[in-house]
A and B are shown apart, each in its own frame.
Chain A
Amino acid sequence: MVAITINGTEHQVEEGQSLLSAAEDLGYDIPTLCHFDVVSDAGACRMCLIEDQDSGQLLPSCTTEVSEGMDIVTNNERIYQARKTVLDLLLSEHCGDCEAPCTVACPAHANVEEYVRAGREGDFKKALAIIKERIPLPMSIGRVCPRFCEEDCRRNLMEDEEPVAINDFKRKAADLHYEEYTEPRRELTGEKVAIIGGGPAGLGTAYFLRKWGIAADIYEKREKAGGMLRYGIPEYRLPKDILDKELKHFHEMDGLTINCNQELGTDIEIAELKEDYDAVVIALGCWQSSSMRTEGEELALGGIDFLEQLAKQNFEMEDPGETIVVGGGNTAMDCVRSTLRLTDSDVHCYYRRTEKQMPAEQIEIDEAREEGCNFEFLSQPVSLRKEDGKLVLECIKMELGEPDESGRRRPIPIEGSEFEVTADTVIAAIGQNTIAPDSIPTNDWGDVAVKEDSYQVEDNVFAAGDCVTGPATVVEAVAAARKAALNVECFLQGEEYSEEKQTNVNQGHWESLSMEDLDFLEEPTPQERVELPTEKAEKRVTNFCEVTETISAEGMEKEGERCFECSCTSKTDCELRDLATRFEIEEPFYGGFRSSSGAELEADNPFLVHDDDKCILCGRCVRVDHEVQCSDAIDFANRGFDSRIAAALKEDLGSEDSSCVFCGQCVEACPTGALEYKPFITERLELDVESTETTCGYCGVGCKLDFKTADNKVVKVGSVYREGIPNPDGEACVKGRFGYEFIDHPDRLTKPLIKDKESGEFQEASWEEALDYVADNFQRIKDESGAEAFGSLCSARCSNEENYLIQKLMRAAIGTHTIDHCARL
Chain B
Amino acid sequence: MAGLAKSFGSGAMTNSIAEIDGLDAMFVTGSNPTENHPVIGSRMKRAARNGAKLIVADPRRIELAEEADVYLQQRPGTDIALINGMMNVIISEGLQDEEFIKERTENYDEVEEIVRQYPPEKAAEITGVPAEDIKKAARIFAEADRGAIYYAMGITQHVTGTANVTSLCCLSLLTGNIGRESTGVNPLRGQSNVQGACDLGGLPNVFPGYQKVNDEEVRNKFAEKWQVDKFPEEAGLTVVEMFQAAARGDIRALYIMGENPVLSDPDQQHVIEALEKTEFVVMQDIFFNETAEYADVVLPAACFAEKEGTFTNSERRIQKIEQVVEPPGEARPDWEIIAGISNRLGYEMNYESPAEIMAEIADVTPIYGGIYYDRLGDNGLQWPCLDRDHPGTKFLHEGEFARGKGRFYPVHYSPSVEEQDEEYPYIMMTGRMLYHYHTGTMTRNSPSIDEFEPDAYVEVNKEDAEKLDIENGDRVAVESRRGVVETYARVGERVAPGNLFMPFHYAESPANKLTHDTLDPEAKIPEYKVTAVSLKKI
Contact = CB atoms under 8 A, between A and B. Distances in A.
B258 A778 contact: no
Nearest to A767: B330
Interface stretch (B92-100, B238-246, B406-414): B238-246
Contacts of B349: 805, 808-809
Interface in B179-224: 188-205, 207-208, 213, 222
B17 interface: yes
Contacts of A753: 288, 297-298
Contacts of A789: 250-253
A663 B318 CA distance: 24
B185 to A, nearest CB: 16
Contacts of B357: 801, 804-805
Interface string A527-553: 000000000000000000000000000
B314 A702 contact: yes
Contact of A809 (B193, B295, B347): B347
Contacts of A823: 1, 191, 194, 197-198, 202-203
A792 B213 CA distance: 17
Given A701-B313, A740-B446, A819-B236, A799 B335 contact: yes
B197 A748 contact: no
Contacts of A813: 342, 345-347
A820 B204 contact: yes
Interface residues of B, number: 149
A707 B251 CA distance: 42
Contact of B311 (A702, A747, A777, A822): A702
A796 B207 CA distance: 16
Contacts of B347: 809, 812-813
Interface string A781-814: 1001101111111111111111111111111111
A774 B403 CA distance: 42
A726 B196 contact: no
Interface string A276-289: 00000000000000
B392 to A, nearest CB: 11
Size class of the contact patch on chain A:
35 or more
Given A742-B446, A796-B193, A805-B349, A735 B435 contact: yes
A740 B307 CA distance: 15
Contact of A695 (B34, B188, B320): B320
Interface string B411-441: 0000000000000000000000011111001
B344 interface: yes
A699 B191 contact: yes
B468 interface: no
B296 interface: yes
A61 to B, nearest CB: 26
A672 B156 CA distance: 46
Nearest to B451: A606
A1 interface: no
B438 to A, nearest CB: 8
B197 A762 contact: no
Given A747-B287, A775-B341, A809-B338, A793 B237 contact: no
Given A775-B341, A792-B255, A748 B286 contact: yes
Interface stretch (B54-62, B70-78, B163-171, B227-235): B227-235
A441 interface: no
A629 B42 CA distance: 5
B524 interface: yes
Interface in A719-751: 722, 724-728, 731-735, 738-745, 747-751
B237 A818 contact: yes
B298 A762 contact: yes
A269 B192 CA distance: 71
A728 B18 contact: yes
Given A701-B313, A788-B250, A630 B46 contact: yes
Interface in A624-662: 627-631, 654, 661-662
A574 interface: no
Interface stretch (B131-139, B321-329, B455-463): B321-329
Contacts of A699: 36-38, 189-192, 314, 437
A697 B304 CA distance: 6
A678 interface: yes
Interface stretch (B117-125, B277-285, B479-487): B277-285
Nearest to B196: A800
Given A629-B42, A819-B202, A742 B441 contact: yes
Interface stretch (A12-20, A218-226, A457-465, A708-716): A708-716
Contact of B232 (A772, A779, A787): A787
A605 B442 CA distance: 20
A55 B295 CA distance: 79
A804 B442 CA distance: 23
A820 B306 CA distance: 24
Given A714-B325, A741-B449, A775 B201 contact: no
A318 B339 CA distance: 78
B314 A701 contact: yes
Given A726-B313, A799-B307, A815-B231, A824 B525 contact: yes
A793 B439 CA distance: 15
Interface string A468-500: 000000000000000000000000000000000
B301 interface: yes
B324 A694 contact: yes
B51 to A, nearest CB: 14
Contacts of B437: 698-699, 735, 739
A754 interface: yes
Interface in B15-47: 17-18, 34, 36-40, 42-43, 45-46
Given A753-B297, A822-B239, A778 B434 contact: no
Given A741-B448, A777-B253, A778-B341, A712 B325 contact: yes
A508 interface: no
A724 B328 contact: no
Nearest to A630: B45
A700 B432 CA distance: 14
A2 interface: no
Interface stretch (B82-90, B259-267, B529-537): B259-267
Contacts of B315: 702, 726
B39 A732 contact: yes
Interface string A589-630: 000000000000000011100000000000000000001111
B462 to A, nearest CB: 15
Contacts of B451: 606
Contact of B239 (A755, A800, A804, A821): A821
Given A606-B449, A752-B298, A700 B228 contact: no
Given A809-B341, A817-B236, A767 B332 contact: yes
Given A748-B286, A800-B196, A785 B297 contact: no
Interface string B332-359: 1111011111101111010100100110
Contacts of A430: none
A704 interface: yes
B502 to A, nearest CB: 14
Identify which of A607, A631, A824 gathers the most chain B CB atoms within 10 Å of its CB.
A824
B298 A793 contact: no
Given A739-B446, A804-B208, A818-B204, A702 B305 contact: no
Given A770-B297, A791-B246, A793-B239, A825 B526 contact: yes
Given A743-B306, A779-B345, A818-B204, A700 B195 contact: yes
A733 B38 contact: yes
22 contacts: A628-B42, A694-B322, A702-B192, A733-B434, A742-B287, A748-B329, A749-B329, A751-B300, A753-B297, A753-B298, A774-B299, A792-B255, A794-B258, A795-B257, A798-B334, A799-B309, A804-B357, A809-B349, A813-B342, A817-B213, A817-B231, A817-B234
Counting from the closest, the 8 A-B pairs by CB-CB distance are A750-B329, A702-B313, A799-B309, A795-B258, A700-B189, A817-B236, A775-B344, A818-B236
Given A744-B328, A819-B203, 5 more contacts: A752-B297, A753-B288, A767-B330, A797-B192, A805-B339
